[in-house]
Structure 1
């Protein structure tokens, strides 16, 4: 007698797909009254928000904090749009007057809102000021201010606090502990949250022997923003 055989289970016709990661960045050019601006999109799979971040007056979207957010936030359902102002796209070395930066940002806003999702206005340094000044009129969902320049170095009497206090929307400030444009303890009380990055300067660089170190500083920035975005609902 032939012994009974154990039937072989049928092969799974549709094996599970690997998790979907962030998509490849794409770039678009947008015409503004100040010249052509550029948006580099870091899309999230199934996004629920857009974080649009402008750069400062002394650099572009290659800033370490902007790169860290573009790498991390798409994993949490937030598409990141890194915005290059027209003066930077044109290769100029000096940023124009604040009103010109605001004009370009306003003209860019329809492209940032095109996905039909709530948009968090963000920026570092001068870009943070732009986001604060225009948040209310543009209908921003919230504001993220990275290295907000509370005052020029050594000139605390020339405060820019009214810009920060007047956003009218949920606002998070992420500030270096030794930022000459305003240390965290110099900020006035107001309707915003502030996170300190220990030992960090205006560009969120930390001394080589500092603890926590550079990678931990960037992780603190990204983690703080992820938690804050989740709290927005």
Structure 2
């Protein structure tokens, strides 16, 4: 299994970060958010699901593994990090990685859950929400979501009933990758920095 460790100088926690369905653990998005988190004293562990690890080996694009495999991979990585770290653990994911983590978070019992661009519904399928397990979520959860996210726009998501443990940080005029329209006056880099700051604030609150 591909696992990548990045240690902050004076870490307050270890954050395990899973990639989304279409990009690896070292994509530009992942690299940028990791560097921002390290600067805020959050150590980060990244890993790749089996299908993405195979893609890295032979450059053949594959669909994600079945959900049972994705979940078992998350459990394996969490248990490995838990056995090695004395710090509080936060689990997190970009899109699909966050969705899988959200299905396991109450079982694994980390300090908190962070989702970056949660896929509330499949593209163009608003009638098939992926929210049933979010109704009774108990673990403190922060979702950083673009208002224009094609998998969970603000207009639709604000109509859902979600657990009171979930907070949503809306990024104005941003898409699924937290990239805003030019008229927002902000850049994706600025939004990812803001997302990291919001994550740090959220984690500090849970540590208290």
Stretches of 4+ aligned residues off by more than 6 angstroms: none
CA distance in 2, matches of 1:75, 1:139: 26
CA distance in 1, matches of 2:26, 2:182: 20
Give the match for residue 129 of structure 2.
159
State the secondary structure of the residue aligned to 2:176: coil
TM-score, normalization: structure 1? 0.78
Greater helix share, structure number: 2
* Structure 2: runs of 5 or more not aligned: 56-60
Give the match for residue 106 of structure 2.
136
Q: Greater relative contact order: 1 or 2 (C-alpha under 8 angstroms, separation 6 or more)? A: 2
Please, what is the CA RMSD of the aligned residues?
1.8
Deviates more, 1:86-95 or 1:64-73: 64-73
TM-score, normalization: structure 2? 0.86
CA distance in 2, matches of 1:61, 1:165: 29
Give how far 1:163 is off: 2.9
CA distance in 2, matches of 1:166, 1:67: 32
Give how far 1:182 is off: 0.7
Give how far 1:152 is off: 1.0
Give how far 1:155 is off: 1.5
Give how far 1:151 is off: 0.5
Give the match for residue 107 of structure 1.
76
CA distance in 2, matches of 1:133, 1:44: 28
CA distance in 2, matches of 1:86, 1:63: 16
* Structure 1: runs of 5 or more not aligned: 1-36
Paired residues in the alignment total: 197
* CA offsets 1:63-119 (integer angstroms, 9 cap, x no match): 444323311222333211112112111115211111210011111112221212221
Q: Is the 8 A contact 2:50 2:65 kept in 1?
A: no
